[in-house]
Amino acid sequence: MSTNPGNGNEWNLAAPSYWTSGFFPGELWIMYEKTLSSSWLSRAQAQTASMQSEDVNAPDHDIGFKILGSYGNSYRIGRDPADMAVVQTAANAMVTNLWRSGAGVIESWPNYDSHITVIIDNMMNLELLLVASQNGGRPSVAHHGH
């Protein structure tokens, strides 16, 4: 996300599939939480809704960045079960696509090379599994985050 002087310094948002795309909706939720302004709420809801298709897009560990920032914060603040359903779907997609039972890890970048690749960013994304499991998801999902 950046501003562009060529378009009146309006924000250029990352596409929903980009790894940083969940950060902006997350910041909007935090602004709403701090101000309780309906303006921030409507912006947060709109930006979060734009992320919904990412709940099954788990080609790498970044699904946690995308979904926890947006739907995770929405659920934390508003407690809408529909938001938690998105978090749980994303956690299931992460486990299905990235869990490597032989190594006991969530792989970060399965298409990087022929090795199982795990980077430090995974630590933040493992929270997706724990949040989903602790809020009605399958208990086995949390096992993959330990």
Residue 121 a catalytic site member = yes
pLDDT of residue 11: 75
pLDDT band at 141 (very low <50, low <70, confident <90, very high): confident
Q: What is the pTM of this model?
A: 0.90
Owner of token pair 């947060």: 44
Exactly one of 55, 80, 83, 121 is catalytic; which is it?
121
Residue 55 a catalytic site member = no
- CA 138/CA 8 separation, integer angstroms: 47
